[in-house]
Amino acid sequence: MKKGLLAVLVVVICASATLSGCQDTSSIKTQQRPQNVFLDSTIVEFANVTFEKNINKSGGIEAVTVGWLFHNIAGKLISAKIDVKFFDKNNIFLYNDSRWIYYMPAGHTEKSFSPGANRVTYEGAGVAFVDHVVISVTEI
């Protein structure tokens, strides 16, 4: 009788441990990337990225803003040029803006958005046609 009760108890404990799983709290959590922002780089990856369309009261698009936070995956100190290119749905180029990263340590992850560093706003003619953005990062 005691062996049967012990066997049932072991099965219940194993089943509850299997179903409960465990939570990894040490990994870096990244937010889901908007499907219309793409990264072309071998030295950084997205830690976070945003894509926002600013719409006026009459429903027209006034501006498109893209922001990014990078994580250095190069394994070394890097400096890089960032080209942010806006395209329409037919992959026709609309606008480009450039930014630079200087002396980003290996493994570093950017923590906050800054308009002068990692945010670009396009407000020009054709802004209503923006479909996707390609961010290219090349080492300098």
Contact between 81 and 44 under an 8 Å Cβ cutoff? The reply is no
pTM: 0.73
Q: What is the pLDDT of residues 71-94, one digit of tens each?
A: 999 999 999 999 999 999 999 999
Among the ranges given (5-9, 32-36, 71-75), the one the predictor scored with the smallest mean pLDDT: 5-9
Q: Quote the mean pLDDT of the chain.
A: 81
More confident residue, 7 or 34: 34
C-alpha pair distances (Å), 59 with each of 54, 55, 63, 102, 133: 9, 6, 12, 39, 21
Distance from C-alpha of 32 to C-alpha of 57, rounded to nearest angstrom: 29
DSSP E strand stretches across 10-88 = 37-40, 44-55, 61-72, 78-87
For the chain, list the domains and their CATH numbers: 32-139 (2.60.40.10)
